[in-house]
């Protein structure tokens, strides 16, 4: 069966199995999908640190430390890939360390994020230098629910932790294989010099990419994940698209992207979403108007947040 990850061949083949598992579970088992997406991220990031001459392993080598290292963020900044990386990281952590419900849309978005990450990696580091790798755009039609068979039940956080333990031997073998590729310091230096030339030749063809073209996609891709991580339910009552009156529009009606309510029924905050290409502060006036309306209704003025999923402002 065709997969969105058929482009992973040669030295990138080790990433394909976990990526295909994320894809296979996207529609029916989003928590399991998130687990495999995080495995892909961790493998890819560690591969980058091993191969890219501009990256040096920080004092702490856990995934959170690696992706927040300044040089790593500089590396992925031109492609605006960091928001995708955060999405995978947070989704994977939620799957393994919490009982937060993940939805089908989360599985789809995480699989798309894995595709963005791996397609960037392949196009950036394909050998020899200047190689043009054809990576087809992500195709939702290749995400298919199983037919004529029982759907596989999504795994619990406890089950995913046990599965993670079972992968330790395989992960150790992957790490050992990377070490064998650079068995001596001379080989390490040669490979790093080669990678530097490859990057210089390939990155000229890679421009900035916007992963969320609309406000709705920004919400699905990023904000919902962050809200759930902070303990809010983005699907809760009166949270999304909350209607307010007396807006300075023809109809006098507005819809707040998100309202976060306190236990006393008063608004604590509003969140105004913009697509990734836009500066989140472009929604400043709109957020202020929403806050004005809520203050008139409730007597309490909420804090205003503006975000495009990539940057946020208070």
SS3 128: coil
The burial class, CB within 10 Å (0-12 / 13-18 / 19+), for 281 is middle
Query: What are φ and ψ of residue 211, in 5° steps?
Result: -90, -15
pLDDT of residue 305: 84
SS3 261: strand
pLDDT of 76 > 70? The answer is yes
Mean pLDDT across the chain: 81
Question: From CA 283, how far away is CA 196, in angstroms rounded?
Answer: 40
Task: Categorize the per-residue pLDDT at 203 as very low, low, confident or very high, splitting at 50, 70 and 90.
Answer: low
Going by C-beta distance under 8 Å and a sequence separation of 6 or more, which residues neighbour residue 204?
A: none
Question: From CA 50, how far away is CA 314, in angstroms rounded?
Answer: 37
pLDDT of residue 236: 87
The burial class, CB within 10 Å (0-12 / 13-18 / 19+), for 309 is buried
SS3 269: strand
Handedness of CA 73, 45, 278, 267 (dihedral sign): negative
Question: From CA 224, how far away is CA 76, in angstroms rounded?
Answer: 23
Tell me how many degrees the CA angle 155-137-3 measures, rounded to the nearest 5. Answer: 45
Residues in the chain: 314
Q: Are 5 and 73 in contact (CB under 8 A)?
A: no
Q: Which residue has the higher pLDDT, 196 or 154?
A: 154
Task: Categorize the per-residue pLDDT at 28 as very low, low, confident or very high, splitting at 50, 70 and 90.
Answer: very high
Question: From CA 314, how far away is CA 304, in angstroms rounded?
Answer: 6
Question: From CA 305, how far away is CA 314, in angstroms rounded?
Answer: 5
Beta-strand runs (E) in the chain:
240-245, 253-261, 267-273, 303-307, 312-313
Query: What are φ and ψ of residue 288, in 5° steps?
Result: -65, -40
Q: Which residue has the higher pLDDT, 64 or 184?
A: 64
Going by C-beta distance under 8 Å and a sequence separation of 6 or more, which residues neighbour residue 140?
A: 108
Going by C-beta distance under 8 Å and a sequence separation of 6 or more, which residues neighbour residue 158?
A: none
pLDDT of residue 280: 47
Q: Are 12 and 121 in contact (CB under 8 A)?
A: yes
Q: How many helices (H) and strands (E) does the chain have?
A: 12, 5
The arithmetic mean of pLDDT across residues 49-58, rounded, is 86
How many CB atoms are closer than 10 A to CB 311? 14
90-148 residue pLDDT tens: 999 999 898 888 889 899 999 999 999 999 999 888 877 667 778 899 998 898 765 54
């Amino acid at each position: 069966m065709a997969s969105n990850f058929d482009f992973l061949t040669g030295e990138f083949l080790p990433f394909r199995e976990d990526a295909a598992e994320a894809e296979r579970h996207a529609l029916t088992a989003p928590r399991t999908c998130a687990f495999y997406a995080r495995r892909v991220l961790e493998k890819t990031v560690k591969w980058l640190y091993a191969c890219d001459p501009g990256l040096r392993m920080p004092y702490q080598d856990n995934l959170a430390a690696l992706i927040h290292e300044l040089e790593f963020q500089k590396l992925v900044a031109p492609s605006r890939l960091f928001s995708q990386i955060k999405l995978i990281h947070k989704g994977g952590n939620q799957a393994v360390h919490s009982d937060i419900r993940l939805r089908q849309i989360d599985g789809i978005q995480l699989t798309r994020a894995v595709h963005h990450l791996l397609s960037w990696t392949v196009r950036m580091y394909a050998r020899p230098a200047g190689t043009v790798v054809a990576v087809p755009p992500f195709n939702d039609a290749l995400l298919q629910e199983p037919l004529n068979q029982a759907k596989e039940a999504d795994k619990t956080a406890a089950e995913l932790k046990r599965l993670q333990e079972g992968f330790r031997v395989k992960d150790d073998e992957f790490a050992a294989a990377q070490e064998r590729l650079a068995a001596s310091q001379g080989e390490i230096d040669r490979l790093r010099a080669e990678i530097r030339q490859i990057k210089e030749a390939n990155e000229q063809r890679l421009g900035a990419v916007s992963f969320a073209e609309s406000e709705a996609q920004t919400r699905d891709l990023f904000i919902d994940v962050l809200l759930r991580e902070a303990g809010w339910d983005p699907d809760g009552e009166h949270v999304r698209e909350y209607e307010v009156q007396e807006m300075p529009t023809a109809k006098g009606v507005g819809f707040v992207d998100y309202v976060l309510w306190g236990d006393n029924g008063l608004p604590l905050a509003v969140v105004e979403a913009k697509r990734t290409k836009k500066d989140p502060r472009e929604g400043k006036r709109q957020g202020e108007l929403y806050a004005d309306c809520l203050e008139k209704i409730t007597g309490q003025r909420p804090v205003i947040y503006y975000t495009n999923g990539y940057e946020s402002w208070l």
